[in-house]
Structure 1
């Protein structure tokens, strides 16, 4: 029995060919259907050239297992989340590699009510069934039909804001030649019809499987310039860039400065708590002082969760949280089946800009000054777990240190703190540091911990 390498902690992704191909996609469809014993499944795919044939092979596997298929076409991942619940399906599968290299593809799986399927909730069992490649006999062959949910989905997006609050705005939107463009077009049609004064400047707007402007990953600094340039050129109020399946969105202020996702989490917490102060907000432990302070100022309930969409979604359901945010630009919403969306955030921020009548830079400047952060710094190391033990040993002994192991290692002092954690997929340590109103302290501590990591990594190598 050959092991499948494309199954990861939260989803399926792998290099095209041996890791993931149409035969494996077919087997995944069979395994998914057999594990969930489902009758109706919605499928969709991103803009990559291989996504459509992989989706059709997946659908064939589902149909051979007796499942009826609704194919919603070339979409973003959140449209699958929406359709699964909106159409009352037993599950949904999105074929996407998001921001991975062009020779990769993958799948994101949910079950009824858009609940995520990850390693702890069935993905390992589906993997085993796909590897065994032995199927129960079925007495029926499932149906297949295509259906657009775009109009209903766009109407749902607009329920998060009062569009009458929106004042004239000029917004640069960069779809990265992925799948966000058709949603922007639909929202734009509604705004025009309702006389909502939003002017969209569209760049890299059309889906293009060749990604002529590079893989859509706005986290890479080299991919940000085109959005920043367009904001300057058009004197826009803000810029927004999405990854390939648009479940993450990234913001630029009116001065074309890229805004770290951490501060957007604070803004969205602010937006929700202004409407109802007694709500619970979920956040991850990498950096959170700014978010926590905003939540407490409004009388909300701050709750920390382990990083990762499966953990955030599970904790949101437990707490009935209205919103959850990660510094990595994933934003989760209770009324969106506790799922992440890359469209809802910019609508909320557009409304916030209109209500406060200030620029985006003014909304976040004081927060950045008060809680400066390093951004995530990645270190390629040879033994991440041993390095983590060494860092904990060193810093736990210092005066005033408070430790937390919600996710990796967090160590807090009165004026600064850091979180360091192992990557789920690579031999990397991911470091985040923040301080209280002290950029120099932040710089010094970043340099200090960087040196600790590099020195101890070299020592561990020498011992081998």
Structure 2
């Protein structure tokens, strides 16, 4: 699968060492040549893919810096810090262990733009240029990525204020790359740290996406340990999930909402997010006389807009926060530091901060096979939804007086995602059902849509 951030697939089916080597060589030609930084999450398949990646890059004349296992945002910082021509993260991110992916990084630390991904893809479809034997580069190891990342994050928060609170924090590293950095961050901030699933061997204790269904163990341990907060990362730590001191698992969107409230309380400014993130972000921004701009789904679109418009905070409703003072990339570790600073500054509990946020209900579902002809013609949509407002920037987003529906093909797996939001649970369910019946069934009359089989998330927000 080719997505906005790179190449993704199931190991041994869609993704093979030969394919990895080909895309690495194509990326090397695209740059062309020069220094390329490589890192990975903890998946066992990365040992195989790492050497395939080296071979492809070296064959196209690149010099390689191997960071080993480290979070994707740590890699992105090293690309800019080393003034490299680019970088590649080998990570399946939030996907299950049988998945893996290559994420291609530009010299400025952002992921390749979609049009650049298409150029790399085009190179793979012809004979890739290789260098002669006497121009093959070298691989060298570098172990400073995590320390470099911590040095960028720590000055942004009031470290003494956090230390004075003596927070007790449970961190679930999911046996991923975040296990190598977030416990260290917490210790430097004076927290009492309880570690679970922090062995970076890549055999995930639960699916790595930090969503409600995957954080039950964390919730139980936060309660039993009487901790102030629970934190969980996905496999490459660009996202974070939160659990309150009462053991309540917060919706993914709350991470961005809390980070935005903290930053906007210090300085007003633009907030950038995607079309699928909660409407509550507009409510939060309005409280600080600030505004929100929305982009297509994908952190590269959010980051690109943030940099152009000089936004003060941004991210997506999946637990990914972009802090411009660190870098224009989703950074689950920086998000943790901001949330702790917010807790320390207010002297409040996470449950009280969460209860102060605007309240909506959101429903998320998915259909496994993207239907042909999606989305339907605009004339049809206008007939079905009357005076609704439509946004066709990414799939179709339909805004009605009771809420909104967003339907779009996923960029990370072969499904169509359906997200709806409203002030009540029933209205959100009705909107989701309406989107499935009027939009997806119109696109393909032959597919059944049983709601229970496609529900992936339904929560109070």
Instruction: State the TM-score, normalized to the length of structure 2.
Output: 0.88
- 2:238 is matched with which residue? 247
Q: Distance in 2 between matches of 1:124 and 1:403?
A: 28
Of 69-78 and 385-394, the range deviating more from structure 2: 385-394
Q: Distance in 2 between matches of 1:431 and 1:159?
A: 40
Per-residue deviation, 1:440: 4.7
Per-residue deviation, 1:250: 0.8
Per-residue deviation, 1:27: 2.4
- 2:199 is matched with which residue? 206
Query: Cα deviations across residues 237-287 of structure 1 (Å, max 9, x unaligned)?
Result: 11111111111111111121121122322211111111111x211011224
- 2:453 is matched with which residue? none
Q: Distance in 2 between matches of 1:458 and 1:34?
A: 41
Q: Does 1:379 align with 2:375?
A: no
Q: 2:154 aligns with which of 125, 136, 158?
A: 158
CA RMSD of aligned residues (A): 2.6
Q: 1:84 aligns with which of 68, 79, 92?
A: 79
Of 386-395 and 374-383, the range deviating more from structure 2: 386-395
Q: Distance in 1 between matches of 2:414 and 2:86?
A: 33
Q: 2:271 aligns with which of 235, 257, 281?
A: 281
Q: 1:255 to 1:457 in 2, by over 3 A?
A: farther
Q: Does 1:119 align with 2:114?
A: yes
**Residue correspondences, number:** 443
Q: Secondary structure at the match of 2:208?
A: coil
Per-residue deviation, 1:226: 0.7
Q: Secondary structure at the match of 1:84?
A: helix
Q: Distance in 2 between matches of 1:427 and 1:52?
A: 26
Q: 1:312 to 1:84 in 2, by over 3 A?
A: same
Q: Distance in 2 between matches of 1:43 and 1:238?
A: 33
Structure 1: stretches of 5+ with no match in the other structure: 1-5
Q: 2:184 aligns with which of 183, 186, 205?
A: 186
Q: Distance in 2 between matches of 1:461 and 1:32?
A: 39
- 1:3 is matched with which residue? none
Q: 1:461 to 1:130 in 2, by over 3 A?
A: closer
Per-residue deviation, 1:71: 0.9
- 1:305 is matched with which residue? 295
Per-residue deviation, 1:309: 1.6
How does 1:212-227 map onto structure 2 within 5 Å? 213-219=205-211, 221=213, 223-227=214-218
Query: Cα deviations across residues 85-132 of structure 1 (Å, max 9, x unaligned)?
Result: 1121111111111233333322111121113114322x2222232343
**Contact 2:174/2:197 (8 A) holds in 1:** yes
Instruction: State the TM-score, normalized to the length of structure 1.
Output: 0.87
**Contact 2:29/2:128 (8 A) holds in 1:** no
Q: Secondary structure at the match of 1:374?
A: strand
Of 405-414 and 240-249, the range deviating more from structure 2: 405-414
Q: 1:290 aligns with which of 251, 267, 280?
A: 280
Q: Distance in 2 between matches of 1:339 and 1:111?
A: 12
Structure 2: stretches of 5+ with no match in the other structure: 449-461
Query: Cα deviations across residues 23-65 of structure 1 (Å, max 9, x unaligned)?
Result: 3322222211111113111111111122123112212322233
Q: Does 1:346 align with 2:346?
A: no
**Contact 1:25/1:57 (8 A) holds in 2:** yes
Q: 1:103 to 1:386 in 2, by over 3 A?
A: closer
